[in-house]
Chains A and B, each alone.
Chain A
Amino acid sequence: MLELRIAHLYPRELNLYGDRGNLLALADRVRRRGGRVTVVPLGPGDPFRPAEVDLVFIGGGQDREQRWIAEDLARGKGRELVAAVRDGMPLLAVCGGYQLLGRYYRTASGEKIPGVGLFDLWTEAGRRRLIGDVAVESDLWEEGRRTLVGFENHAGRTWLGPGVRPLGRVLRGHGNNDRDRSEGARWLNAVGTYLHGALLPRNPRLSDWLILAAWRRKYGTERLDPLDDRWELTAHAAALRRLGLAAS
């Protein structure tokens, strides 16, 4: 039986804005394909064992929680995450988790929280929070429905270095820094983004991109069977419509 083992990093500390919806979406798509999902919650102090995991998810949190998590990541877990991603493991990081996987995060009070350096990017808190619905045209695909939709709410402005590519180009909303129209970052099979919403339920193509990356590495899977995505696509189209964009 096909299996997807998801390491959920800091589920108690980083769980803002319905990020658990991302796990529900992954689990639903694996189950409907006859597979089985195991979620391994990893809290502070728990060891990360890459051999027991096929995919990593890390959500968003508040500043206070991030500081605490940064300390835990610095105690070796961060290095192991980088090694696993370098080895091809897919990873999804949202908002606070995305920031923590960069080089550093400078808070509004000027404190510099060191990051893991998995993504070549850095983040500095801005004065105004960037809040609202977002639509992105993603570079993960060259054809078909390339849009991603979500909801952003972050004070940090993220700047990408040469070692990562953006996840996509902002069509509506603010994105990484409200300046260069970039949203999120991608390195190998790791994706970082500011999109909550939750992100994956309304973007089934991204869920499948992550699942396929995991199963290609694990089973040599070449393609996934299509699913009945009527409600996923209805919600995706409604989000685009609300932003004044035609559904593709």
Chain B
Amino acid sequence: MRRATERLRFALAWRLVVAAGRLARLAGHGGSSFPGLLGRRLDPRLLEHLAGELEQGSAVVTGTNGKTTTATLLAEIGRQAGLRLAHNAAGANLVGGLITSLAGQRAEGARQFAVLEVDEATVARAMPAVRPRLIVVTNFFRDQLDRYGELLGAVGRVAEGIRAVPETELLLNADDPHVASLARGDRKVRFYALKLPPGAAARKPTGDAVLCPRCGHPLAYRSVTFAHLGDYACSACGFRRPAPDAEGEVLRSGRETALRIRAGGRQLASLVRFQLPGLYNAYNAVAAAAAAWSLGWPAEAAARALAEATPAFGRMERFVAQGHPVRLALVKNPAGFDAVLETLAAEGEPGALIVAVNDLEADGRDVSWLWDVRFEDFPELLARSEPLVASGLRAEDMALRLALAGVERERIELEADPERALQAVLARLPGGRAVTVCLTYTALLDLHRRLARRYALPAFWERGARRGA
């Protein structure tokens, strides 16, 4: 920004976004895109200017699953390391949301660094402006396929974003063949991976990445950690899982997770215990710790931040309503939904279960992914959840999904409006019993907004900003 007019335009655009963001918040709107897009009309290079002003640059997290949790953990590590950093809130991961977050948090003093979760379809467009120091790619699960055509389209878009910033270092999940195939010879690339206790890795891979991303021949797996993640090799072209630079060894997994993390040949954290359940969160923790290591942040900050971690927005948000513990869980694709079911099943006492499925643009217009969720594998959870309510714009499809998972047809209830479903359940549930509500993105956003005042929930879009200041 050399010229004075350019500086002035940037300063005006920045303040416009900040003001519009405050207004939107006062008006009770969770939408985070609009202020940023407004500011960009005044300064078309606003994202580039905001990112360029950060003293120590930024890190970007992308991939289909786990980016919110990974980015949240990385931001916490950065704060533990003493950085005044900006971090975009869950869902504000398109260009407008990135601008709104960076501008708003800059106004509150977050000028040193930024941790940005970026939607995989937005990476190609946002990277030339953001020019991060590091791009972290978590995984490619089947997510909103109709939006991108096919899975490989998402991989291609991320690859395009990476090509656009040759000076940016990469941190890739070695266990996901599609992610590992993004490695390029023109720059520094590091890999992270997860190691399970011996004997725990005898699962079969699921279908997302069966073929070699290099040559198209089937991959053979020596072991599988989760879905299609694991130790693979191609018999035809020799493509195989790269040796990891950072590795997390799972010592225990369930309601809480215990990990040992090594990076660059030395112990980064000898034992990390954290509250986030499931193997998928072990991956998120290793990704965040490895990213912090790649950025040169102190190892103690990582251990401390992970130990204090609580679930990111919606990935199991808890509150108490009319004496019942209520939990909201975001579900958006089969792997994520399976992970939620696994967590619920591990807890034992299920209580009431409401599943709300919407099919708006942000959810994915196609709900056929519900058939890839493995409800059949949790018969006990479904049998003991009472009541069991299908909800959302696609409540009828969800009800049918439960019926074909073996739930008795009489037990399934239908209430399209998630809030009405929740209130009806709360009104008749025996005292103290828990309620779990699984929702797709727009259903969660809407329910959260409607419940926020009533149960004094923190407005989620404020979180990153408040803590970032």
Contact = CB atoms under 8 A, between A and B. Distances in A.
Interface of A: 11-13, 15-21, 24-25, 28, 44, 62-65, 67-68, 129, 131-132, 151, 153, 155, 196-198, 201-202, 228, 230-232, 234-235, 237-238
Nearest to A150: B368
A202 B399 CA distance: 11
A231 B398 CA distance: 9
Contact of A235 (B145, B366, B397, B409): B397
Contacts, number: 98
Contact of A21 (B142, B368, B394): B368
Contact of B409 (A20, A155, A198, A230): A230
Given A11-B207, A28-B404, A153-B146, 12 more contacts: A13-B210, A19-B371, A20-B372, A21-B370, A64-B216, A68-B217, A68-B218, A201-B404, A202-B397, A230-B409, A232-B403, A234-B399
Nearest to B394: A238
B55 interface: no
A25 B405 CA distance: 9
B345 interface: no
A202 B400 contact: yes
B149 interface: yes
Contacts of B401: 21, 201
Contact of B366 (A13, A65, A151, A230): A151
Given A21-B371, A62-B152, A68-B218, A238 B396 contact: yes
A18 B372 contact: yes
Interface string B206-236: 0100110000111000000000000000000
Contacts of B406: 28
Contact of A201 (B371, B372, B412): B371
B365 interface: yes
Given A64-B152, A201-B371, A44 B399 contact: no
Contact of B400 (A11, A63, A201): A201
B145 A16 contact: yes
Judged by DSSP, the binding face of A is mixed
Nearest to A16: B145
Interface in B78-128: none
Interface in B372-397: 372, 376, 394, 396-397
A201 B370 CA distance: 12
Contact of B207 (A12, A67, A228, A232): A12
28 contacts: A11-B207, A12-B207, A13-B210, A13-B218, A17-B366, A18-B371, A21-B370, A21-B371, A21-B404, A44-B218, A62-B151, A64-B211, A64-B216, A65-B210, A68-B216, A131-B365, A132-B365, A153-B145, A153-B149, A196-B366, A196-B368, A201-B404, A202-B397, A231-B403, A232-B400, A234-B399, A235-B399, A235-B400
B460 interface: no
Contact of B146 (A65, A67, A131, A202): A131
B216 A67 contact: yes
Given A17-B366, A151-B368, A231 B211 contact: no
B145, B376, B396, B412: most-surrounded residue (chain A CB, <10 A): B396
B387 to A, nearest CB: 15
Contacts of B207: 11-13, 15
Contacts of A12: 205, 207, 210
A67 B217 CA distance: 10
Given A12-B210, A21-B371, A235 B396 contact: yes
Judged by DSSP, the binding face of B is helix
B412 A231 contact: yes
A197 B367 CA distance: 7
B150 interface: yes
Interface of B: 142, 145-146, 149-152, 205, 207, 210-211, 216-218, 365-366, 368-372, 376, 394, 396-397, 399-401, 403-406, 409, 412, 414
Q: Please list the 7 inter-chain residue pairs (A to B) with the smallest Cβ-Cβ separation, ordered nearest first.
A: A18-B371, A21-B371, A18-B368, A238-B396, A17-B368, A235-B396, A235-B400
A153 B366 CA distance: 9
A234 B409 contact: no
Contacts of B412: 231
A15 B403 CA distance: 21
Contacts of A197: 368
Nearest to A28: B404
B217 A24 contact: no
B151, B369, B399: most-surrounded residue (chain A CB, <10 A): B399
Nearest to B205: A12
Contacts of A237: 396
A131 B405 CA distance: 27
A28 to B, nearest CB: 5
B399 A231 contact: yes
A170 B409 CA distance: 31
A24 B396 contact: no
A110 B376 CA distance: 42
A196 B142 CA distance: 15
Given A68-B218, A198-B368, A231 B149 contact: no
Given A62-B150, A65-B211, A228-B409, A234 B414 contact: yes
A19 B372 CA distance: 8
A211 to B, nearest CB: 15
Contacts of A67: 216
Contacts of A198: 368, 371
A162 to B, nearest CB: 32
B225 to A, nearest CB: 18
Contacts of B149: 129, 153, 155
Contact of A13 (B211, B365, B396, B399): B211
Contacts of B217: 68
